[in-house]
Structure formats: structure tokens, C-alpha cells
Amino acid sequence: MLKTSPLAPASQPKLPPIDGVKIAAMNSGIRYKGRDDVMLMTFDPGSVMAGVVTRSKTRSAPVEQCVDALKAGGRARAVVVNAGNANAFTGRAGDMTVMQTVEAAARALQCQADEVYVSSTGVIGQVVPVGAIPKCVEALPAKLSADGWAAGAAAIMTTDTFVKVATRQAKIGGAAVTLNGMVKGSGMIAPDMATMLGYMATDAAIPQPILQALLSRAVEKTFNCITVDSDTSTSDTVLLAATGKAGNAVPQSAGDPALKDFKRALQEICLDLAQQVVRDGEGASKFIEIRVSGATSAGAAKTIGLAIANSPLVKTSIAGEDPNWGRIVMAVGKSGAKAERDKLKIAIGGVEITASGMVVEGFDEGPVAAHMRGKEIAIDVDIGLGRGRATVWTCDLTHGYIEINGDYRS
């Protein structure tokens, strides 16, 4: 059993119900004992779904199924998630398990197959016992509850050390709407155990194409700006359902001014959940925010930020509380994005370290070293060439990561 991450939030919010959304969880017997590992989330008729999935070329059968359902129009009645077996790289047997899961949900909820979304997380390459998930799907509807968010979030965990949920309120026109979300993940991936899966729901009435546009945009600056170990899952999936029960005036486009506050809330909840994944990063002892400015474009800024965030040398030096800013220079240089040595400015914990291609005169390492002894590390990098900005989040690379991921078999 893994110890709770030292970066875990002090407490988790109690999530309010979302009108039209119910959740149930149970144990499947596939891998885990003494805990739930299958979640069913249902949506009232008329709900829609938006989704973003991994860019991996070897994505799993459940991911393919989600993509197909989104393409079919993104109508939503159910999400089924199991933890402990990723049903990835399981060939036709894997496709069959997904199909049988979808059929079981469609039967149980009296809905169409393309209104069901399936996710799996856990070990890659092991065939899921036939019927194990469909059997749960048959039993779960009797247990559905509007208060099931925390139970659902616990059921989808693998190497996660704490339950990750978030909630936000927003207004669309005069109507109050609620956004709830849950996420699991503690490496960007560990195929053994740690894909990132996120499920959000709102009672807002938002047409599917608009919901998709809003989600895609929010993910780009949140879930797609975090990294634990640079590895990308075969199974990463983020879904957002909208039940339409809040009775707001239906927006006509993604640019509708009435959506401004909802966009703010969606961005906030995605960022909250994404940062919780980083805070549960495998072996993490420091939460690191890297703010890049002055790049030639926002894309270049993100490339530079992720090069710093993914550098094993930067991550190990932060684990060692060593203000080794030379490694940040190195990471900027290797990113491939445009940079000039003599324009680069680096600050750690708000203390300026470099300017004009070298360390600032009279630089005192003391305050930077003190900052690095804390749990929250802030790195600012100004490229000095343009107006491109991005912020990314990561954690340090510690012995804990090696321990969790090097499963010393005897």
C-alpha cells in the first residue's frame, strides 16, 4: 500500500449532486480485493458528451470505442470504467470485452450502444476475464446515487494515493450551473497502473459541438500542460457530460458571451484536477510550476516548458533541493524552440538568477536554496524574443519513482 503523497491537498470537497447524473461503484474481482474497481456513471436522456483522448498510436480498445461514440454524435447515457486492467494491447479479445460491456450497459439502461463510453486502466496486455465487467454493469444500476462522486473517484484509482475530485459553480445567462469532476492518475502513465482518466459532468444545457470546443480548449492549457515522467498512456481519456437540466438559455456558439463564466469554471476545474494528478505524481516530493514567457509563440513556450518539466536532470536536482539553474539552461537549449543564450532570464522562487547570458552580478544562492527546501517550486523563464507564454506543472524525480516503477521481482 502506497503512502499518501506529501503533496496531497489537506482535504477534498464534498461534491453536490448534478441534476441528471448518478454514480455507482462495486468490486469486479478482476484484480483488486476489498475495494471497488468498477464505476458506472449514468446521464438522463438528452445528455451530450465531449471528450479528448490520448494521441498514442497504440491506444487501447476502450479509447477507440470512446472516439467512435463521440464521432457518432456524442449523445451520452453511461460511462463504464474499470481499474486494475487497462484492456490495452489485448487484440480481438479486448475489442470483444468492450463490445460486451457496451451491450450490457445499453440493455441495462435501455439506451443505444453509441450512448455508452468505456474506459479501462491498469496492466497492459492481460486479457480481461470474459464477462467480468458486463456482470458488474448489470448489477450497478440498482446502486446508482446522485451522491456517488467520491465513491466513483475511489473506484477508478490504481497507484493513486488519494481520491481526486473538484467542483465549481458558474452562471450561464441568469442560470446557475454546477460542474463536478473526478480524475485518476499518478504518472502521465504507468502502463502497470497509472493512466490518467478524468470524468466531468455539468447540468448546463450546451449543444455537443460547443461543449466539445470548450473542452478541447480547456484541456490544452490544463491536462495537456502537466507531465510526471514524459510517458504518454495508451488509455488517457477526459470526458465531459452535460445533462441540460439547469434550464439555462442554450448558447448558440462557443464564442457566445453568455459562456464566459462557464469557460472560467471549466478551465478552473480542469486545472484543479490536472494539478491533483501532478500532486500525486509517482514518488513526488515537490510540486513544480514552470512559467515561460517571451517565447516566439505560445506553442514554443509550451515546448520549452515541457522540455524543462521532462528533463530528468532538472527533476533530480529539484528532488535534491539543488538550485542547479544550469540544467534549466540546458533544457531550454535542447527543446528545439527558438532561444538565444544572451536573452534568457531565469528566476527560481521569484529570485532572478541569470541575465545577459550569465549569472547576475552578486547572485546570492541563499534565498533560492531556501525556496527549494519548500514543497512548492516556482520557476520563471523569460526567453526574451517574443510574447508567447505558457505554464506547465510537474513534480520532481525521486527514489520513490524508481521504487514504484521498478518492480523488483525475485
Site for its own copies in 62-121 (CB under 8 A): 86, 88-94
- Segment interacting with its own copies (CB under 8 A) among 15-23, 69-77, 260-268, 357-365: 357-365
Could you tell me which of 14, 52, 23 has the C-alpha nearest to residue 240? 52
- Round to whole Å and give the CA distance between 238 and 218: 11
| 122 versus 251: smaller Cβ distance to its own copies | 122
Q: How far apart are CA 16 and CA 362, in angstroms?
A: 54
**Concatenated DSSP letters of 173-197:** TTEEEEEEEEEE-SSS--TTT---E
β-bridge partners, 55: none
In contact, 181 and 167? CB cutoff 8 Å: yes
Give the range of 25-33, 124-132, 213-221, 294-302 binding its own copies by CB under 8 A.
124-132
DSSP code for 309: H
**Which span (190-198, 209-217, 253-261, 273-281) binds its own copies, by CB under 8 A?**
190-198
| Residue 45 beta carbon to its own copies: minimum distance, rounded to whole angstroms | 35
The C-alpha cell at 408 is: 523488483
Closer of 113 and 313 to its own copies (Cβ): 313
Nearer Cβ to its own copies, position 163 or 193? 193
CB of 302 to its own copies, least distance (A): 16
In sequence order, the β-bridge partners of residue 168 are: 179
Task: Supply the minimum distance, in Å, between the C-beta of residue 75 and its own copies.
Answer: 27
Task: Determine which one of 42, 195, 227, 232 is catalytic.
Answer: 195
What is the largest distance, in Å, between two alpha-carbon atoms of the chain? 72
Q: How far is the CB of 26 from its own copies (least distance, A)?
A: 26
Please check whether residue 238 is in contact with residue 52, taking contact to mean a CB–CB distance below 8 angstroms: yes
Of 319-338, binders to its own copies (CB under 8 A) are 319-322, 324-327, 329-338
Near its own copies by CB under 8 A, which window of 21-29, 153-161, 199-207, 396-404?
A: 396-404
- In the window 252-311, what residues touch its own copies (CB under 8 A)? 310-311
* Amino acid letter for position 40: L
Nearest alpha-carbon partner for 372 in 330, 333, 316:
316
Does the annotation mark 195 as catalytic?
yes
Residue in 12, 27, 56, 208 binding its own copies, rule: CB under 8 A: 56
- Of 138, 214, 177, 175, which Cα lies nearest the Cα of 17? 177
Amino acid identity, residue 165? V
Name the minimum Å distance from CB 218 to its own copies. 22
Interface with its own copies by CB under 8 A: which range of 4-12, 151-159, 169-177, 355-363?
A: 355-363
HEC string of 64-125 equals HHHHHHHHCCCECCEEEEEEEECCCCCHHHHHHHHHHHHHHHHHHHCCCHHHEEEEEEEECC
CB of 186 to its own copies, least distance (A): 12
Draw the binding track, 218-257, toward its own copies (x: CB under 8 A; -: no contact).
-----------xxxxxx-----------------------
> Active-site residue numbers?
195
